[in-house]
Each structure stands twice: as C-alpha cells, then as structure tokens.
Amino acid sequence: MRVRRLSDPEAFRTAVWSFLLEREAENNLMLGVAGRVAAGGSYSADSAERPVMLTVEEEGRVIGAALQTPPHKLILSPMAPAAASAVAAYLHEHGAVVPGVLGPKEPAEAFATSWSELIRGERRLHQSLRIYQAEAVTPPAGVPGECIVATRDHLETVLAWARAFATETGESEHDLERATTARVEKRQIFLWKDSTPVSMAAYATPTPHGLRVNLVYTPPERRRHGYASALVAEISQRALDGGHRFCFLFADLGNPISNSIYQKIGYRPVCDFDVYEFLDP
C-alpha cells in the first residue's frame, strides 16, 4: 500500500476521478471540491496553504483518496480502515496540520483513532451525517409561497441565516461572508417567500452527474410549516429538469425531523458520514 501526494490539482483530479465516480453519491463532496480546485477556484481564498491531495494505491490501482483545503477538515473517500490509518501516518510524518476529518464511518473512525494516537491528543465526534440522493422528488402539498432566487437585496437576511446555520450545525464561519456573497452573485442561493423570505437553501459545487443541495435553514419561528420541504423539493426538481441525473444532500442524524422530511419528498439514504475534530494535546 502506497500513499502518494500530488501537487497539481488537475493531476489529482485525473488520478482519482474514475475511482470517485464508482460511488458518486458517497464521494459527492470530494468530487465537488476537487473539481473546483482543478478549475482554479479557491475553496479558502485567504489561505496561503496549498490543498493537500493524496491517493492511496495498491498494485498501481487507486483504492482511496484524501483531500484537504486548509484550514478546513480533511475529506476521505471510502477506503479500508488500514488505508485511512496509512493516510494518517503519512500526514503526521510530513508535519501536516489536520483540524478534523470527515468521511464514511469506518475510514473516518480509523483515521481519527490513528491521528489522535500519533499526536497524543484527543478526538471528538463532532457530527454524524447521512448522505441522501434523489432521482425524482415529490413536493409537499399546500405549502403557501414560492421559490425565488436570492439577490443582493436579500444579502443581509442570507448572511444572518448563514451565520445561524453555522452556529446550529457547529460549522466554521471561516470565510463565510465572502463565500456566501459570492454564491448570491452566482444565483446559487434560493429563498422560499411567503409574503417575506421564510426559508433558505442553496446549490453547492456539482459532480459530473449530480448536484448537492446544502445550507438548508429556516428560522425557528418559521419552522413546522413545510417551507424547507417545499424549497428543497423545488430546487431539486429544477436541478433534475436542468439535466442533472440526481441530487444529493447531507442531513444531521441528530435531527430526525430533517431526515424525515427529506425522505418524504423523495430522497433516499446512501451512506453515513462521521465528522471528527482533534483537540490539542
């Protein structure tokens, strides 16, 4: 088993693309980030550090991949636990800074265990997620309002909701204002409007055949009216009508309501992801 680091984003994309596409839903996050980095986009505009792009190979065949765009967490593809431990050993040997890791349950746990032992620090399970995929959606009936594209006129609301979303999910607010503003300008954020905006959702970076929906947020006082369900169903249908074969999304397993509503509109479970954070020794 060999862990190899690539310095050129296009070379990394070429090396891992067919491997990742074998399980496109499970790899939707890495596919999106790798495609964006290869296209010259920066996932963390104010970071001077280059992306960390690794393959795990056996007999000349890719059996795993890892990608980190500092200062964000390391993303793992599906791989054997031993391969994930080998990635941890390689990164530690080369002095990498890894604030956390996310990936399918078994490799994520194997990496987290190995890394915490190597740095003599602690790991913390930050979040357990489930990936869902939809090839057709069924919108909920009777939800008042309509889907609109967020514009700069909505930026104050969108930024406030994006910060609230980050707080609720425990995600980093690093680069939040710049990234959210850019997404509004690219018409990637949508609002459900019932007289006034009441819910938000967005498109993330696409994969070759799919599109991920994220940033789903409804203010607490507006919840339980079906707004998020209607909005996610609408923008998912637009993506499917636009030529995407399927849509993906991540749901927090600690939130049974969101998991239920996604399944009711047509999303089906694919696999579970765990997110770990590492604490300084």
32 and 90 inside one domain: yes
pLDDT at 50: 86
Of the candidates 89, 109, 112, 70, the residue with the CA atom closest to the CA atom of residue 2: 89
CB within 8 Å of 241: residues ≥ 6 apart: none
Residue type, 145: G
Residue 242 pLDDT? 96
Share of the chain above pLDDT 90, in %: 89
One-letter amino acid for residue 72 of the chain:
H
Assess whether 124 and 141 both reside in one domain: no
User: Is the omega angle on the peptide bond into residue 71 within 30 degrees of 0, that is, cis?
Assistant: yes
pLDDT at site 45: 44
- Looking at residue 48, what is its pLDDT? 52
Listing DSSP states for 31-44 in one string gives HHHHHHHHTT--SS
- pLDDT tens digits, residue range 172-221? 777 899 999 999 999 999 999 999 999 999 999 899 999 999 999 999 99
Same domain, 113 and 12: yes
114 and 227 share one domain: no
pLDDT at 41: 62
Q: In the predicted model, what is the mean pLDDT of the chain?
A: 94
Q: Is the dihedral of CA 125, 32, 230, 221 positive or negative?
A: positive
Q: What is the pLDDT of residue 42?
A: 54
Residues 102 and 154 in one domain: no
Residue 41 lies in a domain: yes
Torsion of CA 247, 138, 274, 170, to 10 degrees: 100
Give the CATH number, domain containing residue 53.
3.40.630
Compute φ and ψ for 187, nearest 5 degrees: 60, 45
Lowest pLDDT segment from 44-53, 85-94, 141-150, 226-235:
44-53
What mean pLDDT is predicted for residues 262-277? 97
**pLDDT higher than 70, residue 225:** yes
pLDDT at position 280 is: 75
* pLDDT confidence of residue 55: 98
77 close to 65: Cβ distance less than 8 angstroms? yes
Helices (H) and strands (E) in the chain, counts: 8, 12
Based on the domain organization, do 115 and 21 belong to the same domain?
yes
Sign of CA dihedral 75, 76, 81, 85: negative
Q: Which residue has the tokens 């009711």?
A: 264
Number of independent structural domains in the chain? 2
pLDDT tens digits for range 103-158: 999 999 999 999 999 999 999 999 999 999 999 999 999 999 999 999 999 999 99
Residue 39's Cβ-count burial label (10 Å; 0-12, 13-18, 19+) is exposed
The helix (run of H) or strand (run of E) holding residue 98 is none
Mark whether 101 and 164 lie in a shared domain: no
**Which pLDDT does position 88 carry in this prediction?**
98
Residue numbers of the domain that contains 153: 137-265
Clarify whether residues 116 and 23 are in a common domain. Answer: yes
